[in-house]
Structure 1
Amino acid sequence: MAEQTGQEKTEQPTGKRLEDARQKGQVPRSKELTTVMVLVASAIALFLWEAV
């Protein structure tokens, strides 16, 4: 049976599929995490700039 567009999957992915996705670099990543990392790096850079 073909899966309809927009329909959620009912089965969890197998361990092999999860491992294959990790090896391909397809890992879930939060957009908020990236934003926080940029803000923290910027704050550290400004702190170090002021220390010079």
Structure 2
Amino acid sequence: MIISWWKETKSIKEVFVVFCRVVALLLILIFALVGLVELFVYLGIAQDGFIIQRD
């Protein structure tokens, strides 16, 4: 409910939209971080399995 208070939303639909935006932003940040780590591994800057351990 803090999110809805922050955005001054009142209906369930508005709260749901704000929640979806927050979840989407978190997913984008996670995938961007994983992509950056994979780029570091590809360029040889980081060791293989820097964050994600592989077999």
**TM-score when normalising by structure 1:** 0.45
Task: Name whichever structure is richer in helix by fraction.
Answer: 2
**TM-score when normalising by structure 2:** 0.42
Larger CA Rg, structure 1 vs 2: 1
